[in-house]
Amino acid sequence: MVGKLYRLDIIDGSMIGSLLHWAIRFIVFVALFLLGSFVIWIVKLITAVPIWLWFTLLVVGLISVIIHSYKESIKGTE
């Protein structure tokens, strides 16, 4: 990206190019760090909740989807 700015004569000199290079690296590093932290947080959350609670939530969710689908199919036949 910085090389393209040099070729287009938008920037000249090595100092501004170096600053842009490190600014871009810093932004990418922060974005990847936040993404990794979020993934770790999600994994910790999932592993902290007991398996029986996940199973209960899954069953309740499936039952609610089945009930909703059944009600929608009854509406469609009227």
Q: What is the pTM of this model?
A: 0.55
Domain edges within the chain: 2-77
Q: What is the pLDDT along the chain (78 residues), one digit of tens a residue?
A: 666 766 666 666 666 777 887 888 999 999 999 999 999 999 999 899 899 999 999 999 999 999 999 888 887 666
Buried b (16+ CB within 10 A) or exposed e, 43-53: eeeeeeeeeee
